[in-house]
Amino acid sequence: METGRESVAGTKRLPRAVRERQMLDAAVTCFARHGYQTASMDEIAELAGVSKPLVYLYLHSKEDLFTACIRREAEALLATVAGAVGDPDVPPDERLWAGLLAFFTHAADHPDAWVVLSRQARTQGEPFATEAARMRDEIAAFVAGLIGEAAREARDGAAITERDVTALAQALVGSAEALAGWANETPGVTAREAAATLMNFAWAGLGNLMKGERWSRR
């Protein structure tokens, strides 16, 4: 008797790796729900099903724990997107689409992780903001690379400066973040739909930009 869930909940003496994963999972949930400062180590430990000292034994401090969360989730997201963008022989718009789709899907599948990365990490001052910026920059670099590639294919690509590209990447990543948050919080919005919106919005705009068409007061 007492099979299934009970046996899992009551199982003691798990190997360290398993416990660490449980703790990180719990921490991501708590940090997403309450923010870094408000989340308490007590609650995280309880949610992880372990005692507080064990959390400290394995993760050393609240700061280290938060950093570990950011790193794990950032790497998971980056790996997913990088894997989807993949083959450099595919035309850049296809690769952007694949990346966007993977991005929104991942964000939808791991909403807590996404909140931690996009909202909490960036607002908690220095040890963390840098960590989060690293991931953001890596994604922005991805996008900038694709834009640059597309620009080189177009005739007047030279009309775009590097700062333009950076600014565009910022705008694009910002859109993606906003859409991901909106999609996650609005019932019925799929990752595919969010990706399509951004793709339509961005690719067309980018295309015009490549051709040197700029808005100016009539």
Partner DNA sequence: GATGAATGAGCGTTCATTCAT
Partner DNA sequence: GATGAATGAACGCTCATTCAT
Cα–Cα distance list, 158 to 88, 143, 145, 161, 203 (Å): 22, 18, 15, 7, 18
Q: Which residues bind DNA (CB under 7 A)?
A: 11-16, 19, 39-42, 50-54, 56-57, 60-63
Quick one: which of 57, 60, 55 has its CA closest to 25?
Answer: 55
Phi, psi of 14, rounded to the nearest 5 degrees = -85, 155
Q: How far is the CB of 73 from a copy of itself (least distance, A)?
A: 16
Among 35, 111, 148, 157, which residue sits at the site for a copy of itself (rule: CB under 8 A)? 35
The entry of DNA, a copy of itself, none near residue 34 (CB within 5 to 8 angstroms by kind) is a copy of itself
Q: Which is nearer to DNA, 58 or 203 (CB)?
A: 58
Q: Which is nearer to a copy of itself, 70 or 206 (CB)?
A: 206
Quick one: which of 38, 45, 40 has its CA closest to 19?
Answer: 45
Among 135, 177, 184, 191, which residue sits at the site for a copy of itself (rule: CB under 8 A)? 177
Kindly state the tokens that stand for 93.
């718009």
The entry of a copy of itself, DNA, none near residue 170 (CB within 5 to 8 angstroms by kind) is a copy of itself
Q: How far is the CB of 60 from DNA (least distance, A)?
A: 7
- Contact partners, residue 123, CB within 8 Å, separation at least 6: 129
Measured distance CA(177)–CA(185) in Å, rounded: 12
Cα–Cα distance list, 101 to 38, 80, 98, 202 (Å): 33, 10, 5, 14
Residues from 123 through 142 that contact a copy of itself (CB under 8 A): 123-125
Residues from 96 through 115 that contact a copy of itself (CB under 8 A): 97
Among 63, 75, 153, 213, which residue sits at the site for a copy of itself (rule: CB under 8 A)? 213
Kindly state the tokens that stand for 1.
């008797």
Kindly state the tokens that stand for 15.
């190997």
Kindly state the tokens that stand for 97.
């689409």
The entry of DNA, a copy of itself, none near residue 35 (CB within 5 to 8 angstroms by kind) is a copy of itself
The entry of a copy of itself, DNA, none near residue 61 (CB within 5 to 8 angstroms by kind) is DNA
Q: What are the residues binding a copy of itself (CB under 8 A)?
A: 33-38, 91, 93-94, 97, 119-120, 122-125, 164, 167-168, 170-179, 181-182, 189, 193-194, 197-209, 213-215, 217-218
